[in-house]
Chains A and B, each alone.
Chain A
Amino acid sequence: MGTNGVAVGESVRDAVYRSCILLDDEKWSDWLNLCDADFEYEITAWSPEINKDMIYFSGNRDYLQSMTDMLDKHNTDHSPLRRHATVYTIDENDDGTLTVMSSLAIYQNLLDGINSHIDAGESHLFVIGRYIDKMKIEDGKAIFLERKVALDTRRLDKGSHWPL
């Protein structure tokens, strides 16, 4: 990274943490506004059960917008998710883009997924993994080009309709 490395690092961390807040708050369009028009998103996992890399979900920006716009038409577990990310590494690629790796833990605060009288308010760990983001810096601001949510968790119970 060049002499403006400190500023780049701050922009990157700000973008990653801002993405967590916007996703936590289910502000899907605002989250997508942090992303490039050609943004690509994937949720993946490696399975020691079948010895394979797997893709659990994928889509571009338009697809994500469409899926999130239609959430009201679906029956969904509305238990809020809370994303805890820590940016570990920021590496510059040959083409000037950045690869950003963050450790990720997502907690679920139960609301209506099971029996709300008993369970609502309880929090538990939902998934663990990493965000592997590809970004570019534009006008001093970090823009998401790609996000891979690389999960370790493969016991996903009810799963989710939401991007992680």
Chain B
Amino acid sequence: MPARNHNQWKANPPLKGGEWIDSRIYSDPEIYEQELEDIFKKVWVPICHESELPDPYDFRTATIAREPVVVARGPDNVVRAFLNVCPHRGMMIERRPSGSFEEAAPSGNPKRMTCMFHGWQYDMKGNCVYISREKEGYQDRLCKEDTGLRRLRCEVNFGGFIWVSLDDKVMSLEDWCGDAFKCIRKPLEAEPLEIFHYHKAVIGTNYKLWHDTNSEFYHDFMHYHNRVTGFNDAYFARENTAFKHGHVNVGSFEVQYDEYEGFESRAELSFPGLPPNQWYMVDLFPGMNFNLRGSALRCDIVTPLGPDKVMIEFRGFGLKSDTPEERRTRIDHHNSIWGPFGRNLHEDLIGVAGQGSAMLPGSENRRILHGRHENNLIHDEVGMRHYYDEWGKWMNRLPSDPSQPYMPAEAAE
């Protein structure tokens, strides 16, 4: 067909319901606000890893759906999560990305979370333990027992990740994503993991476009590295598996790393229980990714910052028991592909930045195709179809026409 006129361009594609979506879901400010309320405030978010706060009184801060969060390890070694907000005048209590409460803050005491503004202090369970000039100001009308922190649901699971939810009634974490983790649970839980890499990207694109890229492997045509180290019969036999709640696995195969000049096999340092040079991917709704390439684990966590802006945090992990030489090798393996100066990550980020530029808020809505069917194998776009069906349920919107209420893909044809 020759290039199309406007009517032809705007026409729905000759595909079935669920095989394409409307680009407004990537750019509409109203939809974005609803996603924060109806999705990100309701799900489990893996905000960091237990190795980022190894000792009692260590803490780490994060943000979920604009809400500041702090997780702290107590003297009882339990990790707890709280809204990082002082109940007095709404000040963010802890401003650093990480650290220890063992030493006193300038306005407070050791082993306390202290709001610098007026010196209110909290213990590691979120109890308010000190209000400056409490009796003088509040007499008997308000006391420490009335002003504890907002505690949040928090669990440590699936290889030591710290999961937090803003929803007190969220389902158990195991029910939420236990099935999706089965393929890599043994390697992740055989022994403690340890973080060795952190960097972040703020990209002018919608958070779902990053998750789409992690969910579909058809874009391996973009990666010279993946073409030369994969693209054999075993690669094309990799299977996508959909799980409840919108999660997806991408099955494994043996990657030929040494086919890329300068790279080496990762067989000797494969994670425990993982066959040599295998590569599994777990994509969790609504935007978290766990990527195990033999010797190193990568985890991406998205924090949406607007309909056309997302922060992606990239973490890399090895085994806590690594010798210095083993750790160095894992880091090199991780960086060669996934580091900020590696071969693949840069290409992926250029890709989603280009999508973001072409789908700015207010731009004409387009039909984005998710219609490849290849028996659920590697270039089948079933991962995205499964994700957007789940998205439609949470949002009560039809992905192919978000002004309409959700209906199953078959009914939308």
Contacts and interface: CB of A to CB of B under 8 A. Distances in A.
Contacts of A159: 201, 339-342, 345-346, 349
Centre residue among A51, A59, A62, A155 by max chain B CB count within 10 A: A51
B213 to A, nearest CB: 13
Interface residues of A, number: 38
Interface in B114-167: none
Interface string A140-164: 0000000000000011111111111
B350 A54 contact: no
Contacts of A76: 346-347, 350
B200 A155 contact: yes
Chain B interface size band reads 35 or more
Contacts of B342: 57, 159
B198 A54 contact: yes
B203 interface: yes
Contacts of A164: 341
B353 A113 contact: yes
A75 interface: yes
A66 B261 contact: yes
Interface in A39-80: 43, 45, 47-52, 54-59, 62-63, 66-67, 70, 73-77
Contact of A58 (B204, B332, B340): B332
Contacts of A3: none
B340 to A, nearest CB: 4
Nearest to B222: A75
B52 interface: yes
A120 interface: no
A115 interface: yes
A39 B24 CA distance: 51
Given A74-B347, A156-B200, A57 B339 contact: yes
A50 B261 CA distance: 32
B349 A157 contact: yes
Contacts of B201: 155-159
A114 interface: yes
A74 B224 contact: yes
B198 A158 contact: no
B34 interface: no
Task: Identify which of B196, B198, B328, B331 gathers the most chain A CB atoms within 10 Å of its CB.
Answer: B198
B346 A115 contact: no
Interface string B312-353: 000100000000000010011001000111110111011101
A49 B198 contact: yes
Contact of B202 (A56, A77, A157): A157
Contact of B353 (A70, A158, A162): A158
A101 B270 CA distance: 38
A161 B341 contact: yes
Interface string B59-72: 01000000000000
A48 B346 contact: no
A17 to B, nearest CB: 23
Interface string A109-121: 0000111000000
